[in-house]
Amino acid sequence: MAVSNNQMSKKNLTSNSSLVQKKNIAQKAEKMNQILKVTNKNSHHGSKPKTSMMNLVTKFPILSALLCITALLVNQPLKASAEIEIEENLSVTTNSDISLSSISHSENEFSNQTIEVDQLPELEDFTVDNSPSEQQIAQNHQEETLSPNLEATSPNLEIASSQVSSPNLEIEATPESVSSQETLIAQNNQQGNQEEARVLVAEVLVEGVEGELEDLVYNVIRTSPGRTTTRSQLQEDINAIFATGFFSNANVVPSDTPLGVRITYTVTPNPVLQRVELETVSGTRPEAQVPPEVVDQAFGDQYGDIINLRDLQEGISAINTWYSDNGFDLAQVVSSPQVTPDGVVTLVIAEGEIEDVRVRYFNEDNDEVDGRTREFIITREVQLKPGDIFNRNTAQRDLQRVFGLGIFQDVRLSFSEAEDPSKVIMNIEVVQGNTGSIAAGAGISSSSGFFGTLSYQEQNLGGNNQNLAAEFQLGERELLFDLSLRDPWIATTPDRTSYTANIFRRRSISLVFDGTETESIRTEVGETRPRVVRTGTGVTFSRPIAEDPFTRPDWLLSAGFQYQRVEIKNTEGDLSPRSSAEFGNELLSISESGQDDLFLLRLNATRDRRNSRLQPTEGSFLLLGTEQSVPLGSGNIFFNRIRASYSYYMPVNFLDFDFAEGPQALAFNVQAGTILGDLPPYEAFVLGGSNSVRGYGEGDLGNGRTFLQATAEYRFPIFSIVGGALFLDFGTDLGSGSSVPGRPAEVRGLNGTGFGYGLGVRIQSPVGPIRIDYGINDEGDNRIHFGIGERF
């Protein structure tokens, strides 16, 4: 806002609601990197910078007249000494002699003359350009690009004074100066090369503002009355005015006076800040990710005050910090703030929009190769899609899901330039390896005893991430062969529906008929322990219940069908449907032939809220399941099995272990189940053992149509990879042992109800915690139990 020599009154400034507190102006001025101040050692401390040589003429008219007359008559240069002191990083105080040359009365001498650096200056050609320097232009207009780095941080937008200056500001000569008959020209003495031309300043005025903003301008400019000035110095003054951050425009206008040049700085203050708006450079996503409350928090203290670009920069830094803290690492402000006359500031942000998602395949030597996995198998695991804003946290989860497929040795992220410089191409880079394996091993478990295994697995069948597995296991109590095919995500479904199909043959010694330390039922044929042989096939479909495939599901539902041919045999492999006479000659199957057909429909629902599946310390896990048999085939069996399990985990800090660091937790589990309808003896619930009541052997506590068991554990660290547990188990068949056909629990003399307690260690291994428990039961017997994974 330009005004005449009559400066704007404080009343007008106040009514415009833009009055700036003096202490605030001082504080903001102190924040500038450099403040240029001009002091005159010959002036009194109480004088103001607006003091002019005209005031000297008024106060000392006779002395001034004598000096002028003497200069004209003698025709000798009148020399005055002026000291220029520049504070802070400028040069030290210097003295320069200023020669006042002859006073010209001819207008022709000053008309139509171009003033060069080595010539005497003319007012009409003495210009100051307040446009940015070439170096500043190179810095301010450097092309903004998005960093192709996952760990990139959003750079802070620096607003230099030159970024907001109006280009090509000139010192305009007024008509009065052109027609003036008295012009004072200051010229440096030539010593070798001629220096930049100087003029003597008689008066300095500031127009357009008053009060504290006016004082601020006087404080930052170097030009002062009684000193000489140059074109460069006036340019520096313009830059210093803009550097305060309070002004949107500034001009300097020289005019002639009898005693020198009057320098008038006409400035326009910034408007009062009303609000800040965010715009994105993307046409597809005009809404910025930053919530409105974050914008208000960053700029709210500035609302109602005159816009200061330095304070505005602090708010922009807060916006950039929010983007970085929330994972939007490619987001940045890409241009200077756009300010409207009514005080609305618009920030343009490139948030890092993804133009495309591509897959690149590498071998173990890091050479790019053709992929063996179909591309959609990878991209469907990636939540970030074209058109989304890149987010570091989301990308990290995407990489974890792709790596979790189990078919790649490494997964990483890179970026490529897009056609639109405000967007990026995101590359998912996978390192391929062998997906097929053959393994052999041996082990021991409380339920199976010693056993050996031989297995084959192909995890990426046909490049579709389908898992084909074959396993053969031979142990003391069982013989197993299983061939399975699993697809973790059926291609035609958008919700991670999976299926598992298998065929199997298992031969085992049923814990219903045989225990670890209790009496075992014998077969009628051969007088051996009964073997239950199951041959069959089945398929199960699972589907998570979630908002999308990338969030943790609230529930996981599964439904399936299975067929089993169950045969009761002796050690030699002969059918033996009844027990020996010693054990009551009871049927061990439903059919007299010793061969039963089971057609089972299964439905399960689980809700997993644990913080870890391997070592949970907080949350809960709920399992509900039912099986319904269809009365078809041998035995015409019709029953329904219902089962439920609930686990709860609570973090505690009972003990302060100086020798080990790790979580402590209380863990509780309750299980119950019942069978309605026909009950084949080999389908009864079994109590006792490493996964039931510890301290009892496998199946040595009881078996029945109904059961209830509960467990409490205190889990704590010991050192490094070893943890410990104190446990208490309880189990009961609720008196249902006698309802099982053949009454195997009564024949074997099992209690049906009991408890056990003890302690154990957990050793971390690649396959999960190796569990070793020492348990004591309510009868005083004790046992050591082995297992893989936590009890629950």
Per-residue pLDDT reduced to its tens digit, 355-405: 999 999 999 999 999 999 999 999 999 999 999 999 999 999 999 999 999
Choose between 667 and 186: higher pLDDT: 667
Co-location of 281 and 258 in the same domain: no
H or E element, residue 13 = helix 10-15
Confidence band of 327 (pLDDT split at 50, 70, 90): very high
Co-location of 386 and 426 in the same domain: yes
Mean pLDDT of 257-263: 91
Choose between 168 and 312: higher pLDDT: 312
pLDDT tens digit sequence for 435-458: 999 999 887 776 667 889 999 999
Co-location of 627 and 704 in the same domain: yes
Confidence band of 410 (pLDDT split at 50, 70, 90): very high
- Boundary (domain end) residue, out of 350, 372, 396: 350
pLDDT surpassing 80 at residue 100: no
Q: Which residue in 306, 342, 298, 304 sits closest to 157, CA to CA?
A: 298
Whether 665 is covered by a domain: the verdict is yes
Q: What is the structure's pLDDT at 719?
A: 84
CB atoms within 10 A of CB 150: 17
Co-location of 344 and 251 in the same domain: no
Choose between 719 and 43: higher pLDDT: 719
94-100 β-sheet, strand order: 38-39, 78-86, 94-100, 186-187
Choose between 109 and 551: higher pLDDT: 551
Whether 509 is covered by a domain: the verdict is yes
Residues 242, 164: Cα–Cα separation, whole Å: 7
Q: What is the structure's pLDDT at 82?
A: 29
Q: What is the structure's pLDDT at 84?
A: 27
Choose between 585 and 31: higher pLDDT: 585
Whether 783 is covered by a domain: the verdict is yes
Choose between 80 and 241: higher pLDDT: 241
> Is-above-0.85 flag for pTM?
no
- Boundary (domain end) residue, out of 254, 269, 284: 269
Co-location of 427 and 327 in the same domain: no
Confidence band of 633 (pLDDT split at 50, 70, 90): very high
Mean pLDDT of 57-78: 38
Co-location of 568 and 685 in the same domain: yes
Co-location of 620 and 664 in the same domain: yes
Q: What is the structure's pLDDT at 789?
A: 87
User: How many structural domains is the chain composed of?
Assistant: 4
Choose between 93 and 256: higher pLDDT: 256
Q: What is the structure's pLDDT at 284?
A: 58
CB 395, CB 411: distance < 8 Å: no
Q: What is the structure's pLDDT at 194?
A: 57
Q: Which residue in 683, 781, 701 sits closest to 749, CA to CA?
A: 701
CATH code (residue 398)? 3.10.20.310
Whether 151 is covered by a domain: the verdict is no
pLDDT tens digit sequence for 534-571: 999 999 999 999 999 999 999 999 999 999 999 999 98
Whether 388 is covered by a domain: the verdict is yes
Q: With helix as H, strand as E and coil as C, how does 703-737 read?
A: EECEEEEEEEEEEEEEECCEEEEEEEEEEECCCCH
pLDDT surpassing 60 at residue 62: no
Choose between 139 and 533: higher pLDDT: 533
pLDDT surpassing 90 at residue 485: yes
Residues 501, 546: Cα–Cα separation, whole Å: 24
Q: What is the structure's pLDDT at 446?
A: 62
Least reliable range by pLDDT among 171-180, 285-294, 462-471: 171-180
Which amino acid is it at 769? P
Co-location of 637 and 707 in the same domain: yes
Whether 455 is covered by a domain: the verdict is no
Classify residue 201 as exposed, middle or buried by CB count within 10 Å of its CB (0-12, 13-18, 19+): buried
pLDDT surpassing 60 at residue 261: yes
Whether 60 is covered by a domain: the verdict is yes
> What share of the chain has pLDDT > 90, as a percent?
62
Q: What is the structure's pLDDT at 614?
A: 84
Co-location of 279 and 175 in the same domain: no
Q: What is the structure's pLDDT at 167?
A: 30
Which amino acid is it at 84? I
* Residue listed under structure tokens 């105080």: 93
* Residue listed under structure tokens 């010694």: 509
Co-location of 361 and 339 in the same domain: no
pLDDT surpassing 60 at residue 730: yes
Q: What is the structure's pLDDT at 618?
A: 96
- Boundary (domain end) residue, out of 319, 350, 381: 350
Co-location of 395 and 524 in the same domain: no
> What share of the chain has pLDDT > 70, as a percent?
74
pLDDT tens digit sequence for 715-725: 999 888 899 99
Whether 445 is covered by a domain: the verdict is no
Query: Domain limits at 536?
Result: 489-788
CATH code (residue 679)? 2.40.160.50
Residue 125 CA from chain centroid, whole number: 58
Co-location of 428 and 529 in the same domain: no
